[in-house]
Amino acid sequence: MEMKQQYYSESGVGEAFTEYFSKIKKQVESELSKFVLTIPQKGLKSKIEYAVLSGGKRFRPFLVILSSESVGGKPSKVMPLAIAFELMHTSTLVHDDIIDQDEMRRGQPSLYKKTSMSEAILVGDALIALSVSLASPFGETILKDVAQSALELCDGEGMDLLDSLKTTTELVYFEKIRKKSASLCKSATYCGAIAGGGSPAEQLALAKFGESLGIAYQLRDDMLDFTVNRDLINLKDISNGRVTLPLIYCYSHSTPDEKKEIEKLQALIGKDPSSASEKASDIVQIVRRKGAFDYCERKVDEYITQAVTSVSVLKDTPYKAYLIEIAKTLRIWETA
């Protein structure tokens, strides 16, 4: 593995990957803009445009296209499927903002704050319908997988709502993020491989890649809510009472008195929003002392390694190198 990584680095794959990602993202942005113009429902059109064209990494459609190209497919043929995944992802963001009562999304008011909660729910529903419509020409297998990933995502979100510090184990956490976050990434790579004409072995390999990458992606996002280079940043998940791996690890390795202190701080966050940031910062300090960040970083590395290993069966092409590069560079990505 070290030799291969050195080869990819020496052959300039990092720069080539950056150029490739930029090119695909521009194509996706262009196709999204064109697609929004074709929506006939005038009452929803402007709101869908606000939700869809407000920025973002376009990570999931990129995975569809890259997976397709890695097995010999053409971007133009799978672009509608890529757009379908972005619409499905956007629908989850619209609904998540309502559930979490997040007022901002990518530096702009969330859709439900821009319009209303009722209108945002309708837009989220419409985005799911549009996603299904775009995916349907690609066949029953792909359509069923897209639907299944959406169901798993909802199940994972439901698990998230029921989380509690006392009952959520590491095993439950990983099952939750496998459903809530990794399911759509897994479906994107799997369906991209099918649409690109990949063999069953290639389809399975890319499905495993997408799931491992999606888990690592969410793990890193959960860590970012506590720290970036050991500096505190936003504390949304802690303030919302969400239970993520850093907190689970910390709590499970705490003494009874320390557990009571963490529970007390969490309770205060819920009762007194004005002091939420201060209390959340106290929790972060406890998490840091327990070595939870180092543990989570090791877990991210485990899943990145799984992702890289899973694509070993693919033919050696620049696109295989890009798959490996996206896994290797996950640590420096802003995941929001």
- For residues 203 and 185, give the distance between their C-alpha atoms in angstroms, rounded to a whole number: 13
Average of per-residue pLDDT values in the chain: 88
11-28: pLDDT as tens digits: 578 899 999 999 999 999
Token digits of residue 113: 């704050």
Q: Give the residue with greater pLDDT, 232 vs 182.
A: 182
Confidence of residue 55 (pLDDT cuts 50, 70, 90): confident
2's CB contacts (< 8 A; 6+ apart) are none
- Ordered by start, the domain boundaries in the chain are 2-330
194-230: pLDDT as tens digits: 999 999 999 999 999 999 999 999 999 888 877 544 3
The class of domain 2-330 in CATH terms is mainly alpha
- For residues 223 and 292, give the distance between their C-alpha atoms in angstroms, rounded to a whole number: 9
86-106: pLDDT as tens digits: 999 999 999 999 998 888 898
Token digits of residue 241: 């009472």
Query: H/E element holding 60?
Result: helix 59-70
- Averaged pLDDT for residues 173-190: 96
Q: How many CA atoms lie within 13 A of 193 on its CB side?
A: 23
- For residues 57 and 74, give the distance between their C-alpha atoms in angstroms, rounded to a whole number: 21
Q: Are 299 and 245 in contact (CB under 8 A)?
A: yes
